Amino acid sequence: MDQPIDPQCRAYQAAIDVLCRPWTAFILAVLQGGPLRFNELAERTRGLGAKTLSARLKDLDARGIVARHVEPGPPVRVQYELTAKGRAFGKVAAAIELWGRELVPDERPTSREGRVPKARA
The domains found in the chain, sorted by start residue, are: 10-103 (1.10.10.10)
Q: Cβ(25)–Cβ(96) under 8 Å?
A: yes
Cα dihedral value 61, 43, 79, 14, nearest 10: 20
Amino acid at 44: R
pTM of the model: 0.78
**Per-residue pLDDT tens digits for 72-99:** 888 889 999 999 999 999 999 999 999 9
**Per-residue pLDDT tens digits for 41-51:** 999 998 899 99
Which of the pair, 52 or 1, is modelled with greater confidence? 52
The angle formed by the CA atoms of residues 35, 37 and 40, to the nearest 5 degrees, is 100
